[in-house]
Structure 1
Amino acid sequence: MRMMTRLEEARSLDPLSDKLQAVVFAAVRPQFLRDLLHGTWLGHPLHPVLVQLPVGSFVSAAILDLLPGKRHASTVLIAAGTAAVSPAVAAGLVDWSQMTKDRRRVGLVHAAANTVAVGLYAASLVARLRGRTTRGKAYGFAGLSVAGLGAYLGGHLAYAQSAGVNQAAPEIVRVPEDWTEVCSLADLPDGRPVVRNVAGVAILVYRHGAEVSALIERCGHESGPLGDGDVTGSGADACVTCPWHGSVFRLADGAVVHGPAASDQPSLRVRVDGGKVLVAQP
């Protein structure tokens, strides 16, 4: 853990990280492509889904390499896994480019380890196709070992640094389960969201006509202040754009419209009683 802490604080990686980030931004410009790779349409990041094929293929190949008479099958698996790496890399880089610096430092080493692993698997495939099975197996086992290091770093990103998770989700449990007054209906301007607090939790409250909705104000992607974001559209189709990384959410229900956020913004139950706006946990 001390090693991981030093890696998170390794500012010497920032110049390379910043240059690679600029390359990713320049290479993936269309919003629809960024949304596709972020997994906005899927409801959670796409990268963890895409890594299943190469990882599964490489692990299966390693098992078959320990059994007699499975040379052809393991070669096919190595080829399939190597071919499946590119889309997983693309999704991972797009997610990585929108992370905080400490996460990008770990992510950079994670990517480097996986690049070495893929290189070893490519060498393994070439050796196998040339009939050098023993050498191919050696490269394959070496690739799996390095990929294991990359997987450890990826796990640290997800579970220790909360990369790719909805940062706003923990705020939900801090909101009272019982109906709690957040403001009066008369205090809400029509068509413009306002920030109010309930039990220390910032809530983004939006009114369109007689309908009122409430979202956690802290952006689920990287905790940006949605209350400072621009509003586009009107009525039930109005959306707010996070001022930090540009994620777009529909104010009426928190549905994610554009990434880098890959999941909906958490919303609360709302009712109006006697001119008072009340909210509660979902």
Structure 2
Amino acid sequence: MNRLPLVTVADKLENASWLDAAATWVARTVRTLLPTKAKDILHGVPLGHPLHPLLIVVPLGSWVSAAALDLLPGTEPAAKTLVGLGVLSAVPTALTGVTDFSELDTEQQRVGIVHQGANAAAVVLYAASWLARARGDHGLGKGLAFAGLATAGAGGFLGGHLSYRQGAGVNRNEDLPEQVPAGWHALGPVDSFASGTPQRASLGEVDLLVLRRTDGSADGTVSVLADTCSHLGGPLHEGELRRDKGGLCIVCPWHASTFSMDSGEVVHGPATAPQPRFATRVRDGILEVSLTA
């Protein structure tokens, strides 16, 4: 089968356990140093969308544009400005990336730590390119910049592998509407669900989190969300109930994504996609659910 050599490299990195020490240290450091509010912003929780891919276009676009100018005569000042813009914008971009990285699975972090290393090397090369240009050595500056672009390209390839091959940042419930038929569906006798305890129920192939409320919620007696965490697929019914921002929430046991039991909205990351919420009703003692739009 024909494939790029980098694909083989990326596949091998997933099993490179020698990377675990460095990856674990970086992830632990990020989780320790950054407060929850800062991590939520860097994950993109207030946007309802990951922040990292939105920022990537600034450094990468600046550097690609600088490369194009470097091929043309008389464009040295503009190319220097674009190189500097790319270096400056790479800082917040890297910060969002390392924050997302800190909440990935082991195999994803192995690829992620090399992705970070390549991108860091690209920033160093571009910073050196800017300094060379500032001294008037545009030939050296161009050489360093092209090396930086190749390095950033390799890092970007690994970032694509993380997303498209390993599923980092993918909403695990995106296809739920196709799996749940329209209308109301019986889950079983409402009395079979213990009050105040998150429990798992099944609707065909879909796992649901069921909670008989004891907190006087206005929604009725039962709240039902998709049980699979939208971040990396953790089982929410094994999580902890917690009051946060005035409402009852469920905390994922894997990476602590926190969701409102009333709406399924993300309260704290790393998740940015909400949990699908099901409307509920009780008829003749049977709990029925319907996927809300």
User: Within 5 Å, which residues of 2 pair with 1:103-252?
Assistant: 103-188=108-193, 191-208=196-213, 210=220, 212-233=222-243, 237-252=247-262
SS in 1 for 2:47: coil
User: Within 5 Å, which residues of 2 pair with 1:32-111?
Assistant: 32-111=37-116
Tell me, in whole angstroms, the C-alpha distance in 1 between the residues paired with 2:88 and 2:264.
37
- The runs of 5 or more residues in structure 1 that have no matched partner are none
Tell me, in whole angstroms, the C-alpha distance in 1 between the residues paired with 2:152 and 2:221.
51
SS in 1 for 2:159: helix
What's the counterpart of residue 276 of structure 1? 286
Deviation at 1:247, TM superposition (A): 1.0
What's the counterpart of residue 257 of structure 1? 267
Q: Quick one: which amino acid aligns to residue 9 of structure 2?
A: M
Q: Note the alpha carbon deviations across 1:5-62, whole angstroms, 9 max, x for none.
A: 211101111122122222222322x110111111111112111112111111111111
Tell me, in whole angstroms, the C-alpha distance in 2 between the residues paired with 1:212 and 1:144.
54
Q: Quick one: which amino acid aligns to residue 40 of structure 2?
A: D
Q: Which moved more, 1:146-155 or 1:16-25?
A: 16-25
SS in 2 for 1:233: strand
What's the counterpart of residue 8 of structure 1? 14
Q: Note the alpha carbon deviations across 1:61-97, whole angstroms, 9 max, x for none.
A: 1111122222111111111110111111111111101
Tell me, in whole angstroms, the C-alpha distance in 1 between the residues paired with 2:113 and 2:59.
19
Tell me, in whole angstroms, the C-alpha distance in 2 between the residues paired with 1:110 and 1:233.
37
Report the CA distance shift for 1:191/1:252 in structure 2 as closer, same or farther (over 3 A). farther
TM-score by length of 2: 0.88
SS in 1 for 2:92: helix
C-alpha contact (below 8 Å) 1:172/1:216 kept by paired residues: no
Q: Quick one: which amino acid aligns to residue 5 of structure 1?
A: D
Identity within the alignment, %: 41
Aligned residues: CA RMSD: 2.1
Q: Quick one: which amino acid aligns to residue 177 of structure 1?
A: A
TM-score by length of 1: 0.91
2:24 to 18, 23, 30: 18
What's the counterpart of residue 3 of structure 2? none
Q: Note the alpha carbon deviations across 1:169-211, whole angstroms, 9 max, x for none.
A: 3444322334321234444555544321100221112344636
Report the CA distance shift for 1:237/1:22 in structure 2 as closer, same or farther (over 3 A). closer
Tell me, in whole angstroms, the C-alpha distance in 2 between the residues paired with 1:183 and 1:244.
28
SS in 2 for 1:169: coil
